[in-house]
Amino acid sequence: MATSTLDRSAAPAAPGAAGAPNPGRRRINRTLKYVLLLFFVVVVLIPAYVLFITSFKGSSDADPSRAWFLPTTWETAGWSKAWTTLAPALGRTFALVIPAAVISATLGSINGYVLSKWRFPGANVVFTLILFGMFIPYQAVMIPLTQLMSTLGVPQGVPSLMLLHIVYGLPICTLIFRNYYESVPSELIEAARMDGAGILRTYASVIFPVSAPGFVVVLIWQFTSAWNDYLFAAFFSSGRNGPVTIALSFLAGGQLTDYAASMAGALIASVPTLIVYILLGKYFVGGLMSGSVKG
């Protein structure tokens, strides 16, 4: 009797019974999930579709009323005009954003290391003051910054913009690296101290080799922030020495807007950041999460 009761209790539940998995319901839920994802993909890609097809239209065909229609004749004049206008600015932008991202990431890494592993009196106050820079609106300090850069004699264009992006990038870089280094075991630092390593030797030999996830996050953040910036560029540069955002605004300006060239220019200007996210996007999320839990 006990054996038969045991056998009945161990028998698998019939499909559709209470608490049993329902294959039909799972299939419906999966279908609804993919339909919803497809809907959001379409919504996100609609602007890219309009940009792409408009960039190949002629001047008479590139009209806002016909934004959804394919070109009657596919032309590349807009791409030629956009590349001729943006090419010099693209070179200046790379010369700006790469050093700015690397320098701000390096300084932020050192700050985060010192504030997380080499505690000193007032370290929390210093960290709070550094973070305060994240909450200062750019618009509130633009006039004083203009006067300061003029007093210091920093040339307009790439030099001034590089300095500004490095300084304004330090708070977020410091925050990300400090949180990341909190997950690094303190025993490694203590072992390096016992071996006679100082603060810089410990950083170079112990901390820097394990900092790749943090650097990926910060470099992507700083690269895209500096690349997409327009406010600083408008105040501290001009069309002949400014980044690609200024050249793009000149391309799209005027009373008679060349929609094909403007759309082609927008696509050209977005390609570098798109490539960065395609190549490093998976490391970006992993780097953000790596310092979220102290291990």
Measured N-to-C along each axis, helices 244-252 and 259-290 cross at an angle, to the nearest 10 degrees, of 150
Q: pLDDT per residue over 176-230, tens digit each?
A: 999 888 888 888 888 888 888 888 888 888 889 888 888 999 999 999 999 999 9
Q: CB of 259 within 8 A of CB of 148?
A: no
Q: In the block, which residue shows the tokens 């419906």? A: 28
Of 227, 236, 114, nearest to 163 by C-alpha is: 236
Q: What letter does residue 208 receive in the DSSP assignment?
A: G
- Say what the pLDDT of residue 294 is: 47
Please list, residue by residue across 127-152, b when 16 or more beta carbons sit within 10 angstroms of its beta carbon and e when fewer do. Answer: beebeeeeeeeeeeeeeebeeebeee
Q: CB of 76 within 8 A of CB of 56?
A: yes
Q: In the block, which residue shows the tokens 């032309």? A: 75
Cα–Cα–Cα angle for 44, 48, 49, nearest 5°? 105
Cα–Cα–Cα angle for 82, 85, 90, nearest 5°? 95
Q: How many CB atoms lie within 10 A of CB 271?
A: 10
Length of the chain: 295
Single-letter amino acid code for the residue at 121? P
- Say what the pLDDT of residue 2 is: 47
pTM of the predicted protein model: 0.81
- Structural domains in the chain, sorted by start: 77-290 (1.10.3720.10)
> Which residues, 6 or more positions from 175, have their beta carbon under 8 angstroms from its beta carbon?
112, 131, 134
- Say what the pLDDT of residue 190 is: 86
* Percent of the chain's residues with pLDDT above 90: 40
Q: CB of 97 within 8 A of CB of 223?
A: yes
Q: How many CB atoms lie within 10 A of CB 78?
A: 24
Q: Which two tokens stand for residue 70?
A: 């394919």
DSSP string, 115-146: HHHS--TTHHHHHHHHHHGGGS-HHHHHHHHH
- Say what the pLDDT of residue 186 is: 83
Q: Which segments within the chain are labelled E, that is strand?
A: none
Q: CB of 236 within 8 A of CB of 164?
A: yes
Q: CB of 217 within 8 A of CB of 287?
A: yes
Cα–Cα–Cα angle for 37, 18, 32, nearest 5°? 10
Task: Per-residue pLDDT tens, the chain, 295 aa: give them.
Answer: 444 444 544 555 555 555 555 777 888 888 899 999 999 999 988 988 988 999 898 877 777 777 788 888 888 888 999 999 999 999 999 999 999 999 999 999 999 999 988 878 888 888 889 888 888 888 888 888 989 998 999 999 999 999 999 999 999 999 999 988 888 888 888 888 888 888 888 888 888 988 888 899 999 999 999 999 999 999 999 888 999 999 998 887 655 678 888 899 999 999 999 898 888 777 776 666 665 544 4
Q: pLDDT per residue over 25-51, tens digit each?
A: 888 888 899 999 999 999 988 988 988
Q: CB of 222 within 8 A of CB of 106?
A: no
Backbone dihedral region of 73: left (phi > 0), alpha (psi from -120 to 50 degrees) or beta?
Answer: beta
